[in-house]
C-alpha cells in the first residue's frame, strides 16, 4: 500500500482518537505515527527523485496506486522504509512485539526484491532510512504531541 494511503488512514484514526477522547497514550502514539509517515513519504519520494535509480529491468509495472513520478524510480524502497519506521515505533511503544515487528519489516523488504520491484540495495537502504526516521520521530518531545492534539481538539 502506498504511503499516501497510510497517511490518510492514520490521520483519520488520529482525528477519531482525539474527538472520541481515547487514551492519551494512544493519541500520542498516533501523532508520532502520523509524523513518521509524513516524514517517510517526503523523504523517500525526495530521495527517489534526486537519485533516480531505474527499477530493475524485470520489474512488471502492474501497480494500481502509484505516485506518478516518484514510483518510476527504485531507491529507496518506500515499503521497506515505512515498515522499518513502524517497526521502530513498535519497538518503543510495544517492546513485547519488537521481534515480530522487525521480522515483518525484513519480510516486506525481501518481498519487494522477490517481486522484482527493487534491487536488494533499495530494500536494505529503505530499512536503514526507515529505522532512522523512527528514531527521529521518537526523539520528538512529548509536548509536540500535546500541541498537535490541542490543534485537533
- Count of domains in the chain? 1
Q: Is the peptide bond before 108 cis (omega within 30 degrees of 0)?
A: no
Give tens-digit pLDDT for 78-109: 999 999 999 999 999 999 999 999 999 999 99
Range of the domain at 118: 3-152
Q: If residue 44 lies in a helix (H) or strand (E), which one and from where to where?
A: helix 24-51
| Overall pTM > 0.75 | yes
CA atoms in the 13 A half-sphere facing the CB of 116:
8
Domain CATH number, residue 65: 1.20.144.10
Amino acid at each position: 500500500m502506498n504511503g499516501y494511503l497510510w497517511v490518510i488512514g492514520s490521520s483519520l484514526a488520529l482525528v477519531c482518537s482525539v474527538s472520541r477522547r481515547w487514551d492519551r497514550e494512544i493519541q500520542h502514539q498516533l501523532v508520532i505515527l502520523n509524523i513518521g509517515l509524513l516524514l517517510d513519504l517526503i523523504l523517500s519520494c525526495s530521495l527517489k527523485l534526486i537519485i533516480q535509480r531505474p527499477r530493475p529491468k524485470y520489474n512488471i509495472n502492474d501497480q494500481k496506486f502509484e505516485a506518478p513520478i516518484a514510483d518510476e524510480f527504485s531507491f529507496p524502497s518506500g515499503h521497506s522504509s515505512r515498515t522499518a519506521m513502524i517497526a521502530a515505533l513498535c519497538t518503543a511503544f510495544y517492546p513485547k512485539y519488537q521481534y515480530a515487528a522487525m521480522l515483518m519489516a525484513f519480510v516486506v523488504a525481501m518481498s519487494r526484491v522477490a517481486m522484482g520491484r527493487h534491487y536488494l540495495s533499495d530494500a536494505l537502504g529503505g530499512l536503514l532510512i526507515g529505522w532512522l526516521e523512527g528514531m527521529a520521530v521518537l526523539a520528538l518531545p512529548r509536548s509536540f504531541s500535546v500541541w498537535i492534539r490541542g490543534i485537533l481538539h
